[in-house]
Amino acid sequence: MNVSLGDRHIAPPVLLAPMAGITDLPFRTLVSRFGAGLVVSEMIASGEFLTARPGTREKAELGADIANTSVQIAGRAAEPMAEAARMVEAMGARVIDINMGCPAKKVTGGESGSALMREPDHALRLIEAVVGAVSVPVTLKTRLGWDDSALNAPDIARRAEAAGVQMVVIHGRTRCQFYKGRADWSAIRAVKEAIAIPVIANGDIVDAESARDALRLSGADGVMVGRGIQGAPWVLAEIAAELYGAPVPEVPEGAALVDMVQGHYESMLSFYGGDLGLRCARKHLGWYMDAAGTPGALRKRVLTAKDPAEVQAILPDALGAATHERCAA
């Protein structure tokens, strides 16, 4: 099964969600290595993106031209959104996503992200501006509504489809829920029934079982995985194998896991530079060690080390010891 965006196809329809500070180029590359239908970049704030100096990392190393990558943009004003879309298309982007789902206060406080759901007419102007600015497919990621009194995702999706949006991703929560409670996959069905373009279900999808339930309850055409992939970049490929018959990924264990984590760490250091890379990598290293059950003392040593060489030296013991303890349990 695949999802079509014009002449482009997402196969299998298992997507990596955009997550600020997480789905950077090194992590998207790692996830894609295991297998993913589409990976979405961290949100780009259109105004800040336009004023960044030429050659900065954000512009030079966005990875917009990688085949299975979608670039997500956010903003409040139509013209900067349209100009940012034109710029990332010129950089090689094959798909552009509009962020109308981020619940973070620093985003909604600027009347961007899910705050746009409170102003559907204004949101539509942004959508029309972006669609009109580019020739590549434009998609939309949003939530069920601002709160339980305004579940307007079906109406917004209908208007977005009429404006030329080619796929809608729905996180099964309202903005005011943030990430509390459980995602309501059944509520996504109203969006699916309102439009003919593909609908992707998002929220609390962490494995093949939850993906299957989300598809059944929502009627969606595919799934998007966010927090469930933290510390497990092979999860998308596992879901795709179970639900769509894609190749079964080889999940690394023991020395192979250490090699993968060390490689990811090196790629982050190269991407960000030593000092910033050291800090940005800590969350990923923490997730890897949480998943592996790394003993607390070793975990602390890895996360508090200030020298990348020291981190690399400790990692084999940290992950290797965790693997040994897990097998002996």
Please tell me what DSSP assigns to residue 249.
P
Say which of 102, 176, 280, 327 is annotated catalytic: 102
- Pick out the residues of the known binding site for FMN: 18-20, 72, 141, 171, 226-227
Please tell me what DSSP assigns to residue 179.
T
Give the integer Cα–Cα distance in Å for 257 and 319.
8
Q: What is the 3-state secondary structure (H, E, C) of 62-98?
A: CCCCCCCEEEEEECCCHHHHHHHHHHHHHCCCCEEEE
* Residue 134 Ramachandran class (φ > 0 left, ψ -120 to 50 alpha, else beta): beta
Give the integer Cα–Cα distance in Å for 314 and 28.
25
Instruction: Answer for the pair 1, 12: CB distance below 8 angstroms, yes or no.
Output: yes
102 is catalytic: yes
Helix (H, G, I), strand (E, B) or coil at 187: helix
Active site residues: 102
